[in-house]
Structure 1
């Protein structure tokens, strides 16, 4: 929980539970809109389970968030992240995680996307090995999106999900063969401001996790002992103490559901710079529940800037130049592979964010070529699978892994990467090389404003300039602009000799807003939330102190508290 969020939301008007359309247990207050469909998710017993999780773990979560703040203070005072001497025994110990369940031994291509109904069906039918249904970076966490997402996933687990696209007069249903379902709840830092427990907003990830597992554990119990999950992705961790909380949450949920200990399995996204120094420790804490780590590279780039926000000697070049060939990124990938394979679990590669370019075959072929090269790099390095943002990329990604892995489900036993044993602290934080250009700050501004405008209207996964943007890439745009403004960097290329200051940034914002209006059209621009997004984005870029997350501030603008009467719409 964040103190700021709790104070903001606690100021909302409260009324007695006896008028609440939802049947809630003691101490629980639902402030989101009532619908009969949502009422089937927000049952008294389900809410009691979520409240029990909140009460049991809130002090641990608060301590973990306080530790994040302390670490941030150390970095801002000149400190550097590094391996913890106190946990060397874990890094050097000869232990392994629980055996990978056969059901998910082969994860060579995974597709990700929000928990929107049609997306869930298409992703499960996509031909990928895994679909990660996302309550986090690819979802704008409005009440409607979150609760509809729970409905959609319950129907998907039951196998009854369907969608009638009236515009196309087409009904979407699940195929006989579908991808394995993984679910990504929100990070520890995000509140759920429509559900109050004992007078404070619930922890978002406990709501996402708790409701999902409560309503679906019967299906998992039927498959008990067969390794069919449930499966999760865990985001935004910075330290193994956060993994330890998740491990306790899993054990608590398994006991509630009556499923075997270790049935719940999770892949942790290594997408913060501090977490790369904690990979062994994170796996150790989750060793009975782990099924690997993932290179969440976009958030990782964002975290590099955030971690070194007070270090003017560690400025990033244009975001398009921060690829996996940068030494600190390559080292991160290779160490992740070694760590995972040493502990007997999957080392998953990063996101291919490209989307098909239907009106330009040459550009489409060039984009696909980049994807193929990136996936060949990953599989040859030793990754066991990769991510795709669009179904159209799955064949190219699959071919790269098929050609190099053959019939083997993964590379856990064959690519140990002992050569990565000598990767040092400095390898993982080495200064990136490249140039900073006027086009770089323009692209950051354009992408950041358009993404935020879409997020404010309920879309968390947005196609922009032939890439699928989510909160992670928007965060890179924001923090890079902030960094360049704070240190008044001198631009390279055509901007040679030009410094990024408030005057320049103001002109760039005006010009890019005009360009956005031309590109989207005046009517759409006028009806959208582009002006609100612009104010929010530019305010954060110019802030004296860097906000931890773009979405924490923006979240206040999508919280809608409804009256307690039964407004059954």
Structure 2
């Protein structure tokens, strides 16, 4: 399938990497398509990233996030999103994971309604990883995805696979291996563009997409840019307007105040919003990095029942259902625990309680990170949601004001919580530098979002000064440096993922934690060290 050549502008597009094994992904036609997307979107993308920096500067100066007065009419007027496609009407359990071949097969066969193939937080975006992922997804779309393990076991997609939805990288991440007219292209456009170019017609012919998850949005203008990029792609690929559909992750604090506006900007293609809880907690920390009065306690104490998270999730349900869109619940990070039945039972009980809370609140579906959790979540949603979704649950009882949405939660900072943050941030960063985007640590599936929580908390606890643990011992850099060195040595001496990059990860984490300003994203400086 080729894009009509008359719609493309022939200008310099360069690939700065060995393309062996990926030539049929990076065809001249596909690269020209990426170039068209880049030239259209890049000026706006840069302007929107500048607005993000200016917004954060205002927060650093003491301004608090709030609802926008200039968009009050959007929030108060009556409108709905376009009709939702049949394959997305029942999304009660979605499984997420990286675009690795075996993972894709297992996820599609898991019994989940949807598989979110993730080019973002659960993938380390080496050029090979991203392009291999494109090959894997193209094979899945065309019904020829197979995998043979080193042990000789064969894997292939069975009947009735989960519906495929793809998450590209966020607007902030570059793809340094491709330049257009000398400018580095956005990773988001590479992931989205290559998938759309190679698969949109096949999916459209099957009435199964293409569908996307959009991450890290902070404002309606960022959603509007995605809408225009998708419209341009549809035009270039000769697809009807509105063919591409999008679910938006509400995983930044600024975005929670613009949920109506984000849906409105995407109203011809939006099908829902998702409670990206882990990134949302990270965004809370980052937004209030300069606010000592809004520090959060140990990560394990920041659960979905605390006021600012409970209100966020309920407001999302109310907003979505008023607009005819789905309200998706958050990720269960637990994974099965082998050889310890008691600990596994305890972990599964936490999953059930979390999913029960979501379905009873009115969510239309939820996320899991492991195939073994699909049936656990399905059982809860099947029992409490006999209908395909809960659009009829309007949650008109929810009254979410600004102060509740930004209220800090009470709790404590413990030595164990501090040490766990050091270990998680280090081990995840080291594994990421080796090319792994999701890593099991202490029976939780850690990804970039949870590692960011650990990193941001360490920075805040150390830089706001005169904080104490529950035993009244001071929290200081000497303690951090010692813990980091200890965990780095242990990792180097182990066979765990990331062992070879432990020293690099420790140096990066030390620099970021000692820096005077909390860095926006761990993955930006880490990307410069990724093969």
TM-score by length of 1: 0.90
Which of 219, 229, 234 is the equivalent residue of 1:239?
A: 219
- Specify the alignment match of 1:449 in structure 2: 426
Deviation at 1:80, TM superposition (A): 0.4
Deviates most, 128-137 or 506-515: 506-515
* Distance in 2 of aligned mates of 1:524 and 1:248: 43
- Specify the alignment match of 1:10 in structure 2: none
SS of residue in 2 equivalent to 1:39 = coil
Deviation at 1:492, TM superposition (A): 3.3
Tell whether the 8 Å contact from 2:147 to 2:154 is kept in structure 1 after alignment. yes
Aligned CA distance change for structure 1 residues 523 and 174 (closer, same or farther; 3 Å): closer
- Specify the alignment match of 1:14 in structure 2: none
Tell whether the 8 Å contact from 1:220 to 1:259 is kept in structure 2 after alignment. no
Tell whether the 8 Å contact from 2:431 to 2:499 is kept in structure 1 after alignment. no
- Specify the alignment match of 1:103 in structure 2: 87
- Specify the alignment match of 1:562 in structure 2: none
- Specify the alignment match of 1:553 in structure 2: 525
* Distance in 2 of aligned mates of 1:525 and 1:161: 27
SS of residue in 1 equivalent to 2:342 = helix
Aligned CA distance change for structure 1 residues 417 and 154 (closer, same or farther; 3 Å): same
1:165-204 mapped onto 2 (5 Å cutoff): 165-167=149-151, 169-204=152-187
Tell whether the 8 Å contact from 2:13 to 2:178 is kept in structure 1 after alignment. yes
- Specify the alignment match of 1:249 in structure 2: 229
Residue 409 (1) aligns with residue 388 (2): yes
- Specify the alignment match of 2:17 in structure 1: 32
* Distance in 2 of aligned mates of 1:277 and 1:489: 33
Aligned CA distance change for structure 1 residues 545 and 87 (closer, same or farther; 3 Å): same
* Distance in 1 of aligned mates of 2:455 and 2:468: 17
Tell whether the 8 Å contact from 1:442 to 1:512 is kept in structure 2 after alignment. no
Residue 492 (1) aligns with residue 469 (2): yes
Residue 504 (1) aligns with residue 479 (2): yes
SS of residue in 2 equivalent to 1:418 = coil
Which of 173, 183, 208 is the equivalent residue of 2:191?
A: 208
- Specify the alignment match of 2:313 in structure 1: 333
Which of 104, 114, 119 is the equivalent residue of 2:98?
A: 114
* Distance in 2 of aligned mates of 1:81 and 1:372: 33
Deviation at 1:511, TM superposition (A): 3.1
* Distance in 2 of aligned mates of 1:110 and 1:523: 32
SS of residue in 1 equivalent to 2:33 = helix
Which of 103, 123, 145 is the equivalent residue of 2:129?
A: 145
Once the two structures are superposed, residues 502-548 of structure 1 have per-residue CA deviations (whole angstroms, 9 ceiling, x without a partner) of 1121122233334545xxx5466895111111111121111111110
SS of residue in 2 equivalent to 1:275 = helix
Tell whether the 8 Å contact from 2:430 to 2:497 is kept in structure 1 after alignment. no
CA-atom RMSD in angstroms: 1.4
Which of 414, 418, 434 is the equivalent residue of 1:437?
A: 414
Once the two structures are superposed, residues 237-291 of structure 1 have per-residue CA deviations (whole angstroms, 9 ceiling, x without a partner) of 0000000000001111111222221111110000000000010000000001101
Tell whether the 8 Å contact from 1:296 to 1:350 is kept in structure 2 after alignment. yes
- Specify the alignment match of 2:4 in structure 1: none
Which of 353, 365, 378 is the equivalent residue of 1:385?
A: 365
Which of 462, 466, 481 is the equivalent residue of 2:443?
A: 466
* Distance in 1 of aligned mates of 2:315 and 2:497: 45
- Specify the alignment match of 1:160 in structure 2: 144
* Distance in 1 of aligned mates of 2:422 and 2:498: 19
Tell whether the 8 Å contact from 1:384 to 1:412 is kept in structure 2 after alignment. yes
Tell whether the 8 Å contact from 2:99 to 2:118 is kept in structure 1 after alignment. yes
SS of residue in 2 equivalent to 1:232 = strand
* Distance in 2 of aligned mates of 1:281 and 1:185: 21
* Distance in 2 of aligned mates of 1:73 and 1:346: 33
Tell whether the 8 Å contact from 1:438 to 1:491 is kept in structure 2 after alignment. no
TM-score by length of 2: 0.96
Once the two structures are superposed, residues 134-170 of structure 1 have per-residue CA deviations (whole angstroms, 9 ceiling, x without a partner) of 0000000001100100000110100111111122x11
- Specify the alignment match of 1:285 in structure 2: 265
Tell whether the 8 Å contact from 1:221 to 1:257 is kept in structure 2 after alignment. no
Residue 83 (1) aligns with residue 67 (2): yes
Tell whether the 8 Å contact from 1:193 to 1:202 is kept in structure 2 after alignment. yes
Once the two structures are superposed, residues 65-105 of structure 1 have per-residue CA deviations (whole angstroms, 9 ceiling, x without a partner) of 11101100100000000000110000001100011111110
Q: Higher RCO, 1 or 2 (CA under 8 Å, sep at least 6)?
A: 1
Residue 513 (1) aligns with residue 520 (2): no
Show structure 1 runs of 5+ residues with no match: 1-23, 560-569
Which of 244, 262, 267 is the equivalent residue of 2:242?
A: 262
Tell whether the 8 Å contact from 1:132 to 1:233 is kept in structure 2 after alignment. yes
Deviation at 1:33, TM superposition (A): 1.4
SS of residue in 2 equivalent to 1:65 = helix
Tell whether the 8 Å contact from 2:276 to 2:330 is kept in structure 1 after alignment. yes
Aligned CA distance change for structure 1 residues 25 and 516 (closer, same or farther; 3 Å): same
Tell whether the 8 Å contact from 1:108 to 1:410 is kept in structure 2 after alignment. yes
* Distance in 2 of aligned mates of 1:382 and 1:539: 43
Aligned CA distance change for structure 1 residues 209 and 523 (closer, same or farther; 3 Å): closer
Which of 33, 47, 55 is the equivalent residue of 1:71?
A: 55
SS of residue in 2 equivalent to 1:144 = helix
- Specify the alignment match of 1:529 in structure 2: 501
